[in-house]
């Protein structure tokens, strides 16, 4: 295993301000896009329970447990004698740096938070690289003196121990930049929508563990991807979703989204919001309870209550409606009204012929070109998005509406800037292709290095076609 740099932040007595300083350093480094892991002492070999905003990862041996904090860094609890084991556990998450709180007697390089009177003691510490002092005192030769200010210490750590990360996006053979990753977290679902394309997954072989999801996100971020959308199956069925979202932000993803059927949203909205989620897509094919049940098998009330809970928290909601002939195409106005009433955005989606019965597709597919024309005439204004093939957003009586026409729009693929990862960890360059998969998870489970895994990602990107064929 490759070990990241590890540093001990130490002091000689409690109350020296070590913990506050450490928290500040973590906040700054994670904001800068570095993956930070913190190792703390633990009196017992406890496996800490998952609180509402923490996620208990997994027992890792007898002497360390890990917690993915909702603010996106990883905490490992360890007994001091087990520091090498704790670093080993932390390294499985591939952090850029491991910060150890305490561990004065370890052989790690140390940043010592000291009073000026303790400088003499400090110089006796093995491997001290910097003193953090509240007062301005004469520097000690060979040791950097830093003010008790997390920004200054974080900058010192970056310059001394971290290497700048690649942020230039990958580009495919047709000049399309790969800016986003759409990651399926599970194929389990609590609904059974008649139209579901299952994100183009045939028969997935199991699901990724949390650490595997995090590793793929980190690789994607290192390869310059800026946006991530979590899908499924139903992503809210995964208990670790909050931690995954928080980690994504900590990695520096600028835009983190989730697409959900909303059945569990009322219960989980607060936790997801606390993890940083600010926008989601909500699948809603009808606002008539009977029609909704006949399409999805679920209860419309759960979705409405989930939507209301999300909106109360200020989460931006885009309602996704797959339009089907004879089922909901004549009630688009009602959905429009509903979306407006709930201060949401609306996205009308053309039915895609994927994992569907041929007869089903032909019977229910509606070309939305006419609907788009009609909206264009009725809209107060039209805004072109700078991406997604400059897709238009029509503002109709204050409601933003988008039309997604993957089927009847010949230019759809030219605006594609994202790549998919299936729930069983395969890179899938095109939603519509089942025969073009790159087994990232297989590589992870075979112990591949980051560089080799990134190589696989790059192969997937260079296999992208100009359009679906």
Q: How many CB atoms lie within 10 A of CB 450?
A: 14
Q: Which tokens belong to 424?
A: 């069983």
Q: Considering the complex, state which of residue 18 and residue 238 has its C-beta at the smaller distance from ligand SAM.
A: 238
Instruction: Based on the shown chain and the rule CB under 6 A, indicate whether residue 108 belongs to the binding site for ligand SAM.
Output: no
> Using the 8-state DSSP alphabet, how is residue 321 labeled?
E
Among 4, 102, 150, 232, contact with ligand SAM (rule: CB under 6 A): 232
Among 210, 231, 371, 417, contact with ligand SAM (rule: CB under 6 A): 231
Instruction: Based on the shown chain and the rule CB under 6 A, indicate whether residue 197 belongs to the binding site for ligand SAM.
Output: yes
Instruction: Based on the shown chain and the rule CB under 6 A, indicate whether residue 375 belongs to the binding site for ligand SAM.
Output: no
Of 30-38, 91-99, 228-236, 461-469, the segment contacting ligand SAM by CB under 6 A is 228-236
User: What is the spatial distance between Cα 379 and Cα 397, in angstroms, rounded to a whole number?
Assistant: 7
Instruction: Based on the shown chain and the rule CB under 6 A, indicate whether residue 281 belongs to the binding site for ligand SAM.
Output: yes
Among 75, 96, 207, 352, contact with ligand SAM (rule: CB under 6 A): 352
Among 70, 248, 320, 328, contact with ligand SAM (rule: CB under 6 A): 320
Q: How far is CA 304 from CA 276, 346, 453, in A?
A: 22, 15, 41
Instruction: Based on the shown chain and the rule CB under 6 A, indicate whether residue 261 belongs to the binding site for ligand SAM.
Output: yes
What is the nearest approach in angstroms of ligand SAM to the Cβ of residue 423? Answer: 10
Q: Considering the complex, state which of residue 283 and residue 422 has its C-beta at the smaller distance from ligand SAM.
A: 283
What is the nearest approach in angstroms of ligand SAM to the Cβ of residue 283? Answer: 3
- Which residues, 322 to 351, sit near ligand SAM by CB under 6 A? 322, 349, 351
Q: Considering the complex, state which of residue 71 and residue 347 has its C-beta at the smaller distance from ligand SAM.
A: 347
Q: Considering the complex, state which of residue 101 and residue 199 has its C-beta at the smaller distance from ligand SAM.
A: 199
- Which residues, 170 to 189, sit near ligand SAM by CB under 6 A? 189
Bridge partners (DSSP) of residue 421 are: 183, 427
User: What is the spatial distance between Cα 31 and Cα 246, in angstroms, rounded to a whole number?
Assistant: 11
What is the nearest approach in angstroms of ligand SAM to the Cβ of residue 424? Answer: 15
Instruction: Based on the shown chain and the rule CB under 6 A, indicate whether residue 230 belongs to the binding site for ligand SAM.
Output: no
C-beta of residue 146 within 8 angstroms of C-beta of residue 160:
no
Find the angle CA(82)-CA(87)-CA(90) to the nearest 5 degrees.
125
Collect all residues with Cβ–Cβ distance below 8 Å to 362 and sequence separation of at least 6: none
Q: How far is CA 286 from CA 307, 326, 328, 397, in A?
A: 14, 12, 6, 21
What is the nearest approach in angstroms of ligand SAM to the Cβ of residue 301? Answer: 17
- Sheet containing 381-384, strands listed edge to edge, beginning at the edge strand earlier in sequence: 381-384, 392-396, 399-404, 345-350, 316-323, 279-283, 255-260, 227-231, 180-184, 418-421, 426-428, 438-439
- How many residues does this entry show for the chain? 469
Among 82, 234, 240, 402, contact with ligand SAM (rule: CB under 6 A): 234
Q: How many helices (H) and strands (E) does the chain have?
A: 14, 23
Instruction: Based on the shown chain and the rule CB under 6 A, indicate whether residue 259 belongs to the binding site for ligand SAM.
Output: yes
Collect all residues with Cβ–Cβ distance below 8 Å to 369 and sequence separation of at least 6: 405, 408
Instruction: Based on the shown chain and the rule CB under 6 A, indicate whether residue 207 belongs to the binding site for ligand SAM.
Output: no
Instruction: Based on the shown chain and the rule CB under 6 A, indicate whether residue 201 belongs to the binding site for ligand SAM.
Output: no
What is the nearest approach in angstroms of ligand SAM to the Cβ of residue 199? Answer: 5
What is the nearest approach in angstroms of ligand SAM to the Cβ of residue 22? Answer: 38
Q: Which tokens belong to 35?
A: 């993956």
Size of the site for ligand SAM (CB under 6 A): 20
Instruction: Based on the shown chain and the rule CB under 6 A, indicate whether residue 196 belongs to the binding site for ligand SAM.
Output: yes
Q: Considering the complex, state which of residue 70 and residue 186 has its C-beta at the smaller distance from ligand SAM.
A: 186
Q: Is 81 exposed, middle or buried (0-12, 13-18, 19+ CB in 10 A)?
A: exposed
C-beta of residue 2 within 8 angstroms of C-beta of residue 91:
yes
- Which residues, 57 to 76, sit near ligand SAM by CB under 6 A? none
Instruction: Based on the shown chain and the rule CB under 6 A, indicate whether residue 199 belongs to the binding site for ligand SAM.
Output: yes
Interface residues with ligand SAM (CB under 6 A) are 189, 195-197, 199, 231-232, 234, 259-261, 281, 283, 320, 322, 349, 351-352, 354, 356
């Amino acid at each position: 295993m490759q070990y990241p740099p590890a540093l001990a932040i130490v002091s000689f007595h409690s109350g020296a301000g070590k913990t506050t300083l450490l928290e500040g350093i973590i906040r700054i480094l994670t904001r800068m896009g570095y993956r930070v892991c913190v190792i703390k002492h633990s009196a017992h070999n406890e496996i800490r329970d998952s609180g509402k905003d923490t996620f208990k990862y997994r027992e890792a041996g007898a002497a360390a447990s890990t917690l993915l904090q909702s603010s996106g860094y990883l905490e490992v609890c360890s007994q001091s004698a087990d520091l090498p084991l704790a670093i080993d556990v932390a390294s499985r998450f591939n952090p850029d740096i491991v910060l150890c709180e305490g561990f004065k007697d370890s052989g790690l390089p140390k940043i010592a938070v000291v009073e000026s009177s303790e400088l003499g003691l400090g110089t006796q510490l093995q491997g001290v690289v910097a003193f953090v002092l509240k007062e301005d005192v004469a520097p000690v030769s060979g040791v950097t003196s830093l003010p008790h200010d997390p920004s200054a210490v974080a900058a010192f750590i970056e310059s001394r121990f971290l290497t700048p990360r690649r942020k230039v996006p990958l580009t495919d053979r047709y000049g399309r930049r790969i800016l986003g990753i759409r990651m399926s977290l599970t194929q389990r679902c609590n609904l059974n929508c008649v139209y579901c394309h299952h994100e183009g997954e045939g028969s997935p072989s199991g699901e990724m563990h949390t650490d595997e999801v995090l590793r793929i996100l980190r690789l994607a971020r290192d390869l310059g991807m800026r946006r991530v959308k979590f899908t499924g199956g139903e992503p809210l069925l995964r208990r670790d979703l909050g931690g995954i979202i928080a980690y994504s932000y900590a990695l520096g993803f600028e835009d983190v989204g989730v697409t959900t059927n909303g059945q569990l949203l009322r219960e989980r909205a607060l936790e997801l919001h606390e993890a940083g989620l600010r926008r989601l897509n909500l699948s809603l094919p009808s606002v008539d309870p009977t029609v909704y049940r006949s399409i999805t098998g679920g209860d419309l009330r759960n979705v409405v209550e989930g939507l209301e809970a999300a909106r109360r928290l200020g989460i931006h909601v885009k309602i996704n409606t797959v339009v089907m002939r004879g089922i909901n195409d004549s009630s688009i106005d009602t959905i429009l009204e509903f979306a407006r009433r709930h201060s949401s955005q609306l996205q009308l989606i053309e039915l895609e012929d994927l994992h569907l019965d041929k007869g089903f597709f032909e019977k229910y597919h509606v070309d939305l070109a006419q609907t788009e024309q009609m909206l264009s005439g009725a809209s107060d204004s039209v805004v072109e998005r700078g991406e997604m093939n400059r897709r238009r957003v029509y503002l109709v009586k204050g409601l933003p509406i988008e039309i997604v026409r993957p089927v009847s729009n010949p230019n759809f693929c030219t605006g594609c800037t994202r790549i998919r990862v299936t729930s069983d960890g395969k890179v899938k360059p095109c939603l519509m292709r089942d025969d073009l998969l790159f087994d990232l998870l297989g590589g992870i489970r075979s112990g591949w290095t980051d560089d080799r895994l990134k190589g696989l990602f790059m192969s997937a990107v260079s296999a992208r076609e100009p359009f679906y064929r």
